[in-house]
């Protein structure tokens, strides 16, 4: 048995995102965001790979579970190029790329958009400082 005094949660294996139309949501995540579809369990579930973390799209199991999800921030190397690519695929941004904070070694930039199910998602980029 593990030492309970040293126990702490750390690794995320799966994140669930509510969807009202799984087929439509799969199209958005696969075709517009370019995410790798792992498998589906029609008509209620679809699973995508996010660099080792599973993203599960699911119909709400009960009315009390039917609510917007937390914002998922996707890390990208070049936020401006990522936004341009997604925009050409039909993704509409609510917040264009914007500087958020000076983190010392890099600047933090964010941009936000909604998926086909109206969940808020975001891009996050660590922009290296220019060599002086």
Query: CATH number, domain at 71?
Result: 3.10.180.10
Say how far apart CA 77 and CA 81 lie, in whole Å.
9
- Degrees to nearest 5, angle at CA 109 with 69 and 53: 45
**Residue 1 pLDDT > 80, yes or no?**
no
For the question of whether the overall pTM of this predicted structure is more than 0.85, the answer is yes
- Report the distance separating Cα 42 and Cα 58, nearest Å: 10
Provide the pLDDT for residue 121: 96
For residue 111, the model assigns a pLDDT of 97
Share of the chain above pLDDT 90, in %: 86
Q: Residue 26: give the domain boundaries.
A: 4-128
Q: Check the CA dihedral 33-39-42-43 and report its sign.
A: negative
Identify the band that residue 130 occupies on the pLDDT scale cut at 50, 70 and 90.
Answer: confident
pLDDT for 38 beyond 80: yes
* Count of domains observed in the chain: 1
Residue 116: name the closest of 47, 62, 64, 57 by CA.
57
Percent of the chain with pLDDT over 70: 97
């Amino acid at each position: 048995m593990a030492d309970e005094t040293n126990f702490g949660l750390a690794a995320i294996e799966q994140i669930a995102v509510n969807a009202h139309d799984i087929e439509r949501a799969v199209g958005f995540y696969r075709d517009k965001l370019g995410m790798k579809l792992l498998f589906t369990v029609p008509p209620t579930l679809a699973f995508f790979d996010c660099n080792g973390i599973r993203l599960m799209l699911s119909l709400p199991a009960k009315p009390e579970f039917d609510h917007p999800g937390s914002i998922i921030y996707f890390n990208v190397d070049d936020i401006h190029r990522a936004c341009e690519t997604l925009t050409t695929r039909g993704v509409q941004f609510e917040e264009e790329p914007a500087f958020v904070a000076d983190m010392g070694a890099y600047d933090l930039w964010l941009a936000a958009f909604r998926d086909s199910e109206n969940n808020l998602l975001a891009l996050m980029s660590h922009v290296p400082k220019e060599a002086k």
